[in-house]
Amino acid sequence: MVYKEMIHLFFICNMILSIAGGLFFLMLYGRSSSVVHRWSFIGHWSLKVGLASFASGALFTALNFDVPTYPELLNAFGAALIWTWACFFHYKYFLKDGYSSKKSA
Judged by DSSP in three states, 44 sits in helix
Give the global pTM. Answer: 0.82
Length of the chain: 105
d(CA 98, CA 88): 14
Judged by DSSP in three states, 74 sits in helix
For the chain, which residues make up each domain, given as ranges?
Answer: 3-96
The tens place of each residue's pLDDT in the chain, 105 residues long, gives 578 889 999 999 999 999 999 999 998 888 887 888 888 999 989 999 999 999 999 999 999 988 899 999 999 999 999 999 999 998 888 777 665 444 444
